[in-house]
Amino acid sequence: MKVGAHVSISGSRVSSDDETPPYDDMRNAVHRQLAFGGNCGQVFTTSPQVWAQPELTDEAAEGFRSETEENLEGPWVIHSAYLVNLCTPKDDLRRKSKESMQAELDAAERLGIPYVNVHLGAHTGAGVEGGLDNAASLIDELDVPEGVRILIESDAGSGTKLGGEFSHLAGIIDRTETDIGICIDTAHTLVAGNDLTTPEAVDETVGRFDDEVGLEYLEYIHLNDSKHDVGTHKDEHALIGEGYIGEDGMRAIVNHPDLRDLPFALETPTEDGKGFAWNIEKVKQLRDE
């Protein structure tokens, strides 16, 4: 089973054992993942709250690649900055979003990471069709390195944000000439209006996704429970099995024949003394042999 967490690269003294030297770079992610019991996962290469370029030394990039290959099943995925808006009609924001995405794609190539995950963003008045057109044209202007794939993440669907409906995901695939994939966030999918609370509901939602988008495009799953119910469009993650998806829904997701072999990255909160290690172990317990 490929399951891990979204881990930080920050800090100056992270090691998985007494014999491993400390690092102050991307290699922290590998050691944190091991400490949590994960074997794949997600990272930010820089602060997601500001327009900043990843700072990678050759030593750090080579170390990250070699330690990942030695210790993890993989794959990693980079999550783009929160400020990126592919759908925007505003020239300045579009330019900054393009520059940020290109930097992440280049970093992924150096790090040996096969995916860069990004939200479509908000159309802010351009409309659904206009927003999807904007996103597709921006994606097609990027220089995507060989071996790296852009993943469009499903959204909770609040306001003018796109990606909450499967038709939006299908729409961006249809519009772009770039070979993109999809990352489904289970919490986002639930609150966007798709039931995931029972085995029957999970099977129906997966079937609709296949009909509208195509399971061949699904590359990664953000496995999160939700503090809010179906169709509320409120994005707030919960501990695995302790939200509205619940244990029955989570068990159905991680064992579904069309999903079980995909990598799962957790973005769960730390609450009541339960952090990533607890959540990863919970997922493993829900998985059938």
> Per-residue pLDDT tens for 228-287?
999 999 999 999 999 999 999 999 999 999 999 999 999 999 999 999 999 999 999 999
Confidence of residue 10 (pLDDT cuts 50, 70, 90): confident
Q: 90 by DSSP, 3-state: which?
A: coil
What per-residue confidence (pLDDT) applies to 18? 45
Determine which helix (DSSP H) or strand (DSSP E) holds 3, and give its type and residue range: strand 3-6
Name the pLDDT band for 24 (thresholds 50, 70, 90). Answer: low
Look at residue 55 in the predicted model and tell me its pLDDT. Answer: 87
Residue 20 reports pLDDT greater than 70? no
CB contact set of 264 (below 8 Å; sequence gap of 6+) = 1, 2, 3, 4, 40, 221, 222, 223, 254, 283
Coil, strand or helix at 234: coil
Q: Return d(Cα 101, Cα 104) in angstroms, integer.
A: 5
pTM, full prediction: 0.94
Task: Count helices and strands (H / E) in the chain.
Answer: 9, 12
Contact 166, 172 (CB under 8 A): no
pLDDT of 19 > 50? The answer is no
More confident residue, 213 or 19: 213
Please report the pLDDT score of residue 53 as a whole number: 87
Instruction: Tell me: pLDDT of 9 over 60.
Output: yes
User: Which tens digits make up the pLDDT trace of 181-212?
Assistant: 999 999 999 999 999 999 999 999 999 999 99
Tens of pLDDT, residue by residue over 123-172, are: 999 999 999 999 999 999 999 999 999 999 999 999 999 999 999 999 99
pLDDT digits (tens, 9 = 90+) for 77-117: 999 999 999 999 999 999 999 999 999 999 999 999 999 99
Whether omega before 75 lies within 30 degrees of 0, making that bond cis, reads yes
1-15, 38-52, 157-171, 213-227: the lowest-pLDDT one: 1-15
| In contact, 160 and 128? CB cutoff 8 Å | no
- How confident is the model over 67-73, as a mean pLDDT? 95
Pick the CATH number of 3-286 from 3.40.50.2000, 3.40.30.10, 1.20.1290.10, 3.20.20.150: 3.20.20.150
* pLDDT tens-digit readout, 158-176: 999 999 999 999 999 999 9
Lowest-pLDDT range of 19-33, 163-177, 219-233: 19-33
| Three state DSSP letters for 91-142 | HHHHHHHHHHHHHHHHHHHHHCCCEEEEECEECCCCHHHHHHHHHHHHHHHC
- On the question of pLDDT at 61 being above 50, the answer is yes
